[in-house]
Structures are given as C-alpha cells and as structure tokens.
C-alpha cells in the first residue's frame, strides 16, 4: 500500500477524476454565480446589464433579506442543536439500554431519514392540524385535559418556525444517532470497565470519558447539521410554504423567489453567494472547537 501511495501516477489516477467532478459540479457553479452578482435583471432579457457592486450595496439595505437571515439564525440555533443532541441521546440509549431488538429499534429510528420531504411535510401538517378537525398534537392536548393549549401551530407566526424545527429534528436525529452509535462502538470496553471500577457514576462516565472521546465525531455532526440547516428550503416549502407571512421564509426561499418570481438573477446570485460563505464560515467556526491535544 505504501508503495502505491508513493507512486505519482497512482495518486493522479485516484485524485484527478474526483477533482474534475468536484470542479465541474461545485467550483464552476460558484464562480459562475459570483460572476452574475455584477449584473442586474434577468438573464436573456433586455434589462440584463452590468451594474458593478450595486447588488452588494443593496444587500445590506434590504429589510426582507435581514428578516430571512434572522429566520435562518433562529432555525439553525434550534435545529442544529436539537438534531445532534437528540441523536446523541438516542446513541447512548442504543449503547447502554437497548439490548434486545436493538437492530429493529435503530431501523425504526432511522426510517424518517429516508422518507420524502413532501411526505414528512404532509404528515406533520396533519399532526399540527386544528381545522376542520384536531390533529394528533391538539387531540392529545385535548385528551389529557390541556385543551387551553390547543393552538394553530403552523398558522401563527410565533410558533410556525418552532413547529418546522421540531419536524426537521424528528426527521434527521436518527441519522446522527447512527453516526454517534458507531463512534460509541469504537470506544474500547476496557476504558469503560476501568471507569466503573474507579467508581464513576453515569454522569461522570459521560462527562469525563465519553464526551471527550466523542468530541471529533460530535463536531463533524454539528458541521453536517449546520450546513444542512443553512440551506433550509424543502421542509419549509412542504410544511409552511414560507408562511404565515414571512415567518418561515429562509434565505434560500428568498433567493428562489428573487430569481424566479421577481426575475432578478443578479441579486439572487448575491444571496446565493452569501449562503455559500455562511456555510464555509460556520463550518470553520465549529471546527475551531476541535482541540488538537
């Protein structure tokens, strides 16, 4: 193997095809989109013209962009932590408590990950429903005597984003639970046995042993979740369609509407470039917490 890795021709054989594919599918579209940011109007129309940095200047004065950015920030804060934390709790449950039928339980927990987004959106629309009949959530509240808490969860601006975040946490936490469960299986049993012999309780075992060993995988999960939630689009479109009003209109949805509804490709490209840079900056910030020692 070491002889193969020292062979430059072998290295080129492994790297060049992937690099070409990455360049065509990622680098060139980003550069192309960056080029469009210096133009105004719609591609192919008479209004398509070079306007320099006007689109960038407009970005910092656009109140709709600021509102969409705040929606993204709130959604990321709820969903990213929810997906990874609940995934970690499920992974701990798989490792230490679920012994019998473990494979079946993990399959059931992972199942929402492979469901189509539209199907999940329809499912949660029925769960949150209040008219003409109560959905599952409101029916449960009514059934346990908490009828005063019955609420149009996706029909009000103050709860629509929370309801959307809850749906996406439920959908993705199974994915992170499987990743973290695999990391838990890689921890040598001798370490856990030594900790128990030394008198570690459950919290000390988690805080002093498991959490430091899981740190690299946890940070990777946070990066995956963050980059996914920044691009929030499909789930919001399936559940709330960006409403009520603009309560769940994300940057990606605003970019889409700007490009295809308002026919402003240049300005939409600026928003797309901002989303790309936000993904890169956020991922680098999360990785900064990875201590090399």
CATH of the domain at 215: 1.10.3720.10
Instruction: Confirm whether 255 is domain-assigned.
Output: yes
pLDDT average, residue stretch 36-61: 88
Examine residue 27 and state whether it is found in any structural domain, yes or no: no
Q: Which residues contact 53 (CB under 8 A, 6 or more apart)?
A: 38
How many independent structural domains does the chain possess? 1
| pLDDT grade for 131, boundaries at 50, 70 and 90 | confident
Does some domain include residue 78?
yes
Question: What's the length of the chain?
Answer: 293
Nearest CA to 238 out of 99, 74, 121, 75 is that of 121
In a domain, 26, yes or no: no
Yes or no: say if 143 and 92 are a contact pair by the CB < 8 Å rule.
Answer: no
Residue 50, φ and ψ in degrees, nearest 5? -75, 130
The C-alpha atoms of residue 223 and residue 177 are separated, in whole angstroms, by: 15
- Asked if the model's pLDDT at residue 5 lies above 60, the reply is no
**Please, which pLDDT band fits residue 18 given cuts at 50, 70 and 90?**
confident
Q: Provide the pLDDT confidence category of residue 135 given band limits of 50, 70 and 90.
A: very high
Q: Is residue 270 within 8 Å of 284, Cβ to Cβ?
A: no
Answer yes or no: is 225 within a domain: yes
- Give Cβ neighbours of residue 30 (< 8 Å, ≥ 6 apart): 273, 276
- Is residue 126 a contact partner of residue 119, using CB atoms and an 8 Å limit? no
Task: Name the average pLDDT for the chain.
Answer: 90
Residue 265 belongs to a domain? yes
Domain that holds residue 242: 62-287
- Does the structure show a pLDDT above 80 at 195? yes
User: Reduced to 3 states, what is the DSSP secondary structure of residue 50?
Assistant: strand
CA separation, residue 185 to residues 99, 111, 149 (Å):
13, 21, 42
For residue 188, being part of any structural domain is answered with yes
Whether the pLDDT of residue 214 is over 90: the answer is yes
Residue 30 lies in a domain: no
Dist CA 6 CA 8 (whole Å): 6
């Amino acid at each position: 193997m070491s002889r193969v890795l020292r062979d430059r021709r072998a290295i080129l054989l492994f790297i060049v095809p992937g690099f070409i594919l990455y360049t065509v599918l990622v680098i060139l579209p980003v550069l192309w989109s960056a080029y469009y940011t210096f133009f105004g109007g719609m591609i192919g129309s008479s209004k398509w013209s070079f306007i320099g940095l006007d689109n960038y200047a407009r970005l910092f004065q656009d109140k709709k962009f600021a509102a969409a950015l705040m929606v993204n920030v709130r959604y990321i804060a709820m969903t990213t932590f929810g997906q990874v934390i609940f995934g970690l709790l499920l992974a701990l449950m798989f490792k230490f408590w679920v012994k019998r039928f473990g494979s079946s339980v993990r399959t059931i927990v992972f199942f929402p990950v492979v469901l189509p987004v539209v199907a999940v959106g329809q499912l949660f629309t029925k769960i949150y429903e209040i008219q003409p009949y109560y959905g599952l959530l409101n029916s449960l509240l009514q059934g346990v005597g908490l009828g005063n808490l019955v609420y149009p969860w996706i029909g009000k601006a103050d709860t629509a984003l929370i309801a959307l975040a809850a749906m996406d946490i439920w959908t993705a936490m199974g994915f992170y639970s499987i990743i973290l469960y695999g990391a838990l299986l890689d921890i040598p049993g001798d370490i856990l046995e030594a900790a128990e012999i030394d008198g570690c309780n459950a919290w000390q075992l988690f805080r002093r042993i498991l959490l430091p060993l899981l740190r690299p995988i946890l940070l990777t999960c946070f990066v995956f979740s963050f980059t996914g939630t920044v691009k929030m689009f499909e789930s919001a479109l399936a559940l709330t369609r960006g409403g009520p009003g603009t309560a769940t209109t994300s940057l990606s949805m605003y970019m889409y509407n700007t490009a295809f509804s308002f026919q402003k490709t240049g300005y939409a490209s600026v928003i797309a470039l901002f989303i790309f840079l936000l993904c890169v900056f956020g991922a680098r910030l999360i990785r900064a917490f990875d201590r090399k020692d």
